[in-house]
Amino acid sequence: MTEITQKAMLVRLHIKQWGARKQDKQVTHKIEKAYNATNSGSFNKRLVAEDAIKTVSKTANAVRSFHYENTLPWGDDGSRILLSKNYLPYTSEMRMLKASFEEAVARFIADYKDLVEDARVRLNDMFNRGDYPDGAQIENKYGLEVFIDPLPSAADFRVTLQAEEIDQIRKRIQARNQSAFEEAMRDVWNRLYQSVKHMADKLHQADAVFRNSLVNNLCELCALLPRLNLSDSKELEDMRHQVEDKLCRFEPDELRTNLKKRSQVATDASAILETMKGYIGNG
């Protein structure tokens, strides 16, 4: 197996955004008093109209979704594996998504003063100007950064310790990398399995309503899989071709209107699932 450090890198996504909500202790106390309750919960004010921050939130969610779709699990610190062969597509799309996020933030900040004045009317007696950051403060509530680092390599571990201790640390790094490698491939197989299962479950119900995304998402995943295939698994590539050839060959409308085609694709999806069970969990 090619050393994982030669095929991939670590990537972390960090997004900051203002929550635009604030717990109001006075209102919470009044509600509890009105209902003769204690420790019943808390009342959170929506500091600006929900529609005002919706674009920023949707853009941030799109960034996260793209990041997770194009990377594989690594550890507990938020880092994920980005394959070298996916580096250019990932960074190119991420630049555009970051620009969209920053544009949405800029529009929100330009409207911020008006939104505060709107909240003064909307919240009435619950309005508290102290809940709202000023000027540069609100700008600092937002940010989007992508950090890319090399994967840790046992070969590059050099410190002044006893040889035996260094050897043990290197072995732990190697074991960690191997574990991450296996977990990443399990994740890829499971993504494909769950997508195919979702299609099979829907299409086996002759009267089930489904969106175009049922087919489109699976086809998009198949197109992405070569850039997620960390082990260059021939089995995964063969399975990808099967899914494309048998499950992605019809348009969604064809599967809605042609019951014969729908039944055939449902049957093919179930057969592929049975074959795939042998790979789930094995990487």
Round to whole Å and give the CA distance between 152 and 104: 36
Name the token pair of 133. 């950051």
> What element of type H or E holds 72?
strand 72-73
Q: How confident is the model at residue 151, as a pLDDT?
A: 78
Q: How many CA atoms lie within 13 A of 149 on its CB side?
A: 10
The answer to whether 97 touches 86, Cβ cutoff 8 Å, is no
The answer to whether 17 touches 141, Cβ cutoff 8 Å, is yes
Round to whole Å and give the CA distance between 38 and 24: 15
Closest among 52, 41, 42 to 18, alpha carbons compared = 52
User: For the chain, what is the mean pLDDT?
Assistant: 89
Helix (H/G/I), strand (E/B), else coil: 236: helix
Condensed to tens digits (0 to 9), the pLDDT of residues 233-248 reads 999 999 999 999 999 9
Confidence of residue 157 (pLDDT cuts 50, 70, 90): very low
How distant is the alpha carbon of residue 86 from its chain centre?
16
Round to whole Å and give the CA distance between 187 and 258: 34
Helix (H/G/I), strand (E/B), else coil: 150: strand
Residue written as tokens 């049975």?
Answer: 274
From residue 49, alpha-carbon distances to 144, 145, 220, 266, 273 in Å are 23, 27, 35, 45, 46
Round to whole Å and give the CA distance between 229 and 187: 10
- Where is pLDDT greater, at 202 or 180? 202
- Where is pLDDT greater, at 26 or 280? 26
Round to whole Å and give the CA distance between 238 and 244: 10
Query: What is the pTM (predicted TM-score) of this model?
Result: 0.83
Round to whole Å and give the CA distance between 78 and 15: 12
Confidence of residue 159 (pLDDT cuts 50, 70, 90): very low
Confidence of residue 158 (pLDDT cuts 50, 70, 90): very low
The answer to whether 228 touches 80, Cβ cutoff 8 Å, is no
Name the token pair of 55. 């674009």
